[in-house]
Amino acid sequence: MDSADLPPSDITEAVQHTLEELGIHDTPRLQELFSQLANQLQKDMAQLAETGAGEPEKLEALRVRWLGRKQGVIRSINDNWLRSASPELKREIGQLLNALREEAERQILVVKRAEGIPMTPAPVTVTPAPVTARWSIPEPTVFVTGALDITLPGTRRAVGVRHILRRVMDEITEIFFSLGYSVEEGPDIESVYYNFEALNIPEDHPARDDQDTFYIDSRTVLRTHTSSVQIRTMEKLQPPLRIIVPGKAYRRDTPDATHSPMFHQVEGLAVDTHITFADLKGTLDYFLKAFFGPEVRTRFRPSFFPFTEPSAEVDISCLFCGARGCRICKQSGWIELMGCGMVDPALYPHVHYEASRYSGFAFGMGVERLAMLKYGVQDIQLFFQGDVRFLRQFR
Ligand SMILES: [Zn+2]
């Protein structure tokens, strides 16, 4: 087919054929073709001006004819001429095509402005494709293009934060990470062996009383402390060992301002050769200064725990009165904080460690107690009631 065969009235028909079919192989004839198209565009615009520039539908029809995504002249040139063109002509076609597109866009825009037609097409309703996934979209989403006002404030989404107890536990673990400790975990539902026996707490010890412990059956309890993980870890790992165990513990306490049947502990354990009580004191002094602030002083008082020997209670200087004496520290200037001690050598045979070779220390602290002191919380129940007015204060 030769271009001469085409009806001269509408050159846009030619874009439905390839250049090969049109018999066009050189630049001059190509340029002529594009100049005919440019003329046709002018004619269309002139016709529109005469017959209905004020009617948006007519302008839209013209836009679709030239710039439509599926069958528009520009699109067809791209598909039919450009793609199959020889490498020599491709560059030329690309340039001419761009110029024609820009001209068409410009002309249409001029008419729109002159007639006060909105710059955007009618709202587009996007109907979602059939949903086969497990969720569904309730309504078709309507996008009104051009309705976006970027000066409006955005929608603020409510973002949750870590619970205050989780945050305190993270603070504690961070400090011990810096000392080379790693985190271990164990089950909340624990055997009597790991919870009591292996920790040197014999059958007749008051801690094993029904009054103090949730028994699931005679051999299974909700762990009364995270110390049970100490034995599990020592069975698994050989010294040197430096671990902390953050987690929940359970006791049959009646809820009040300082007691809860479920609470959180962080247990610590270090076992190596040549570990002394001085290491224990240095470690806890470092930790408490890092957690509460460098001005805090520590005090160790002799105490008793079944699984440490010797054992100690650790006090810190009162945070509220600077150790001068107040209601909170009961005028003593000191606040009782946690228990600790050297691992009782009687425990080592349970885990097949050589008692003559290794020594170690252990400590345990209540997360709620530390959180209450650091953040001035008066009632332990507040941690578990889920009241957002309370939780929001710890953003
Ligand atoms: Zn005080």
Q: Give a yes or no: residue 144 inside a domain.
A: no
Q: Give a yes or no: residue 128 inside a domain.
A: no
Task: From 115, 141, 176, give the residue that closes a domain.
Answer: 115
Shared domain check, 11 and 106? yes
pLDDT digits (tens, 9 = 90+) for 97-154: 888 888 888 888 888 777 776 655 445 555 555 545 455 545 555 555 567 777 888 8
Strands 241-250 and 182-183: parallel
Q: How far apart are CA 169 and CA 365, in angstroms?
A: 11
Contacts 24+ apart (CB under 8 A), 372-375: 373/292, 373/319, 373/335, 373/337, 374/168, 374/291, 374/292, 374/319, 375/164
Confidence of residue 183 (pLDDT cuts 50, 70, 90): very high
Report the pLDDT value the prediction gives residue 29, as an integer from 0 to 100.
Answer: 87
Shared domain check, 216 and 92? no
Strands 262-272 and 298-305: unpaired
> Are the C-beta atoms of residues 173 and 183 closer than 8 Å to each other?
yes
pLDDT digits (tens, 9 = 90+) for 27-45: 888 888 888 888 888 888 8
Q: How far apart are CA 314 and CA 284, in angstroms?
A: 9
Residue 222's beta-bridge partner residues?
A: 189
Report the pLDDT value the prediction gives residue 285, as an integer from 0 to 100.
Answer: 96
Report the pLDDT value the prediction gives residue 229, as an integer from 0 to 100.
Answer: 92
Q: Give a yes or no: residue 130 inside a domain.
A: no
> Are the C-beta atoms of residues 333 and 362 closer than 8 Å to each other?
no
Confidence of residue 16 (pLDDT cuts 50, 70, 90): confident
pLDDT digits (tens, 9 = 90+) for 194-217: 998 888 888 887 767 766 888 999
The H helix count followed by the E strand count for the chain is: 11, 12
Task: From 115, 150, 172, give the residue that closes a domain.
Answer: 115
- End-to-end, the C-alpha distance of the chain in Å comes to 76
Q: How far apart are CA 80 and CA 14, in angstroms?
A: 10
Cα(225) to ligand 1 centroid in Å equals 28
Cα(317) to ligand 1 centroid in Å equals 8
Shared domain check, 106 and 203? no
Cα(181) to ligand 1 centroid in Å equals 32
Shared domain check, 177 and 106? no
Q: How far apart are CA 228 and CA 225, in angstroms?
A: 7
pLDDT digits (tens, 9 = 90+) for 53-70: 677 888 888 888 898 888
Q: Give a yes or no: residue 158 inside a domain.
A: no
pLDDT at 6 over 50: no
Tokens of 140: 């078709």
Tokens 């199959």 appear where? 84
Shared domain check, 91 and 170? no
Tokens of 216: 């699931």
Q: Give a yes or no: residue 149 inside a domain.
A: no
Shared domain check, 317 and 209? yes
pLDDT digits (tens, 9 = 90+) for 226-262: 989 988 998 899 999 999 999 999 998 888 888 999 9
Q: How far apart are CA 201 and CA 221, in angstroms?
A: 14
Cβ partners under 8 Å of residue 33, min gap 6: 3, 11, 14, 22, 24
Q: Give a yes or no: residue 156 inside a domain.
A: no
Higher pLDDT, 370 or 23: 370
Residue type, 206: P
Crossing angle (nearest 10°) for helices 277-292 and 164-178: 130
Q: How far apart are CA 245 and CA 95, in angstroms?
A: 70
Print the domain residue range for 70: 3-115
Cα(323) to ligand 1 centroid in Å equals 5
Tokens 């691992």 appear where? 343
Report the pLDDT value the prediction gives residue 221, as an integer from 0 to 100.
Answer: 92
Shared domain check, 251 and 178? yes
| Listed residues: CB within 5 A of ion ligand 1 | 318, 320-321, 326, 329
* Residue among 271, 323, 256 nearest 292 (CA): 323
| Average confidence score pLDDT of the chain | 85
Cα(382) to ligand 1 centroid in Å equals 23
Shared domain check, 285 and 385? yes
Cα(17) to ligand 1 centroid in Å equals 94
Shared domain check, 68 and 169? no
Q: How many residues are present in the chain?
A: 395
Cα(308) to ligand 1 centroid in Å equals 29
pLDDT digits (tens, 9 = 90+) for 321-376: 888 888 888 899 999 999 999 999 988 888 888 889 999 999 999 999 999 999 98
Tokens 């009580």 appear where? 277
Global pTM exceeds 0.75? no
Cα(326) to ligand 1 centroid in Å equals 4
Shared domain check, 179 and 111? no
Please give the tally of structural domains in the chain: 2
Q: How far apart are CA 2 and CA 22, in angstroms?
A: 5
Shared domain check, 223 and 348? yes
Cα(318) to ligand 1 centroid in Å equals 4
What CATH number does residue 298 fall under? 3.30.930.10
Q: Give a yes or no: residue 155 inside a domain.
A: no
Cα(372) to ligand 1 centroid in Å equals 14
Cα(272) to ligand 1 centroid in Å equals 37
Cα(170) to ligand 1 centroid in Å equals 27
Task: From 58, 91, 115, give the residue that closes a domain.
Answer: 115
Cβ partners under 8 Å of residue 389, min gap 6: none
pLDDT at 74 over 60: yes
Shared domain check, 186 and 77? no
Q: Give a yes or no: residue 136 inside a domain.
A: no
Dihedral angle of Cα 291, 167, 370, 290, to the nearest 10 degrees: 0
Max Cα-Cα span within the chain: 113
Give the least confident one: 74-78, 158-162, 332-336: 158-162
